[in-house]
Amino acid sequence: MTRITISELAAALGAPFVGNGALTVARACEPQDAGKDDLALAMDPRFADAIAAGEARAAVLWADADAQALGLDAAILVGRGRLAMAGITAAFDKGLGLEDGIHPSAVIHPTAQVGANATIGPLVVIGAGAQIGANARIAAQVSVGAGVRIGDDALIHAGAKIGARAQIGHRIIIQPGAVIGADGFSFVTVEKSHVEEARESLGASVAAEGQAWQRIASIGGVEIGDDVEIGANVTIDQGTIRATRIGSGSKLDNQVHIGHNVVVGKHCLLCGQVGIAGSTVLGDYVVMGGQAGAADNLTIGSGAIIGAGTGVLSNVPKGRSMMGYPAVAMQTHVEMYKSLRRLPRILAKLKGGSDKE
């Protein structure tokens, strides 16, 4: 079991500590559940009473907390609790639990290159010409296609699939079941289809007959920058001709879908079940809440915030906050929602007035 001293953890967090800095802790816990060897996390005064319910001797507390009054032998004092959580969880992260080296059941093509100190788990398949950077940790049953390049310090969880030719930067984290580099959903008909007519006329005239769909192959690949995190069961389609791109520092939550030719800028945050249709471009620092979606061939400007469940059907200027379906400015949506809730009362008054007349 990994143990860490209070002084070591405080140094890692860049925060001061009080009390016995040599005291060691084995894991982080909520304060009411903490034992004598645990670190209680109580970074807000609201959790002060919960410390007494547990047995912790050490805790992470808010900046001006009185550790001695709380009965603690040691404490780390932090200004931003959620930011401290990043360092605390990193300190106690046990990783994948893989044995060092390359498992004998892994299948690695003779032309593939695996960097120094890489750990390759059971039943991993690495294709021809693939390049895996130094210090990679790849869990069981991961598939890496031909010609893929992955930078240093990769962390790839079990069952992830990376299609041929994907180019991935340093410090990638890929959660279980993610699929990177599937073919895009791209089809065409021999003659103009009824879908094309509907789009051009906005549904006013649709005269075309139904036709068979002809497949458009995807040959553009996927390009992913540095420090990107890909959630569980995320799907990223490769581009048709140019690559689908995910910018450095972006984070994709579970079940996000990125269509072919999409460009996601740097440091974007896409929450669970977000869907981005083909060829849409997101600027840098865009945030999209859960189940938000964007139609194809749009531009969402840098710094835009798209609320949960929002349907983006037209371009969004940079820095704009949007909500609703179809998406409108967040303040406008709130006013629309308030008005909608007033409708039953207004209609009841109108009905009452007409009855009196």
DSSP characters over 279-326: T-EE-TT-EE-TT-EE-TT-EE-TT-EE-TT-EE-S-B-TT-EEETTT
Q: What is the CATH number of domain 4-92?
A: 3.40.1390.10
The DSSP secondary-structure symbol of 5 reads E
Q: Is the pLDDT of residue 357 over 80?
A: no
Angle at 252 between CA 247 and CA 253, to 5 degrees: 175
Q: Is the pLDDT of residue 129 over 50?
A: yes
Q: Quick: pLDDT tens for 156-169.
A: 999 999 999 999 99
Range(s) within the chain of domains with CATH label 2.160.10.10: 107-330
Q: Quick: pLDDT tens for 60-112.
A: 999 999 999 999 999 999 999 999 999 999 999 888 888 899 999 999 999 99
Kindly state the average pLDDT of the residues 291-312: 97
**Model pLDDT, residue 353:** 61
Tell me which of 157, 194, 257, 260 is the catalytic residue.
260
Q: Quick: pLDDT tens for 212-266.
A: 999 999 999 999 999 999 999 999 999 999 999 999 999 999 999 999 999 999 9
Write the CB contacts of 70 (distance below 8 Å, at least 6 apart in sequence). 48, 51, 52, 59, 61
10 Å CB burial of residue 123 (0-12, 13-18, 19+) is: middle
Homologous superfamily of domain range 107-330: Hexapeptide repeat proteins (2.160.10.10)
Annotated catalytic, 260? yes
Phi, psi of 4 (to 5 degrees): -140, 145
What DSSP string describes 130-166?
-EE-TT-EE-TT-EE-TT-EE-TT-EE-TT-EE-TT-
| Residue listed under structure tokens 């046990």 | 94
Closest CA to 246 of 307, 127, 162, 309: 162
**Model pLDDT, residue 356:** 47
Beta bridge partners of 29: 40
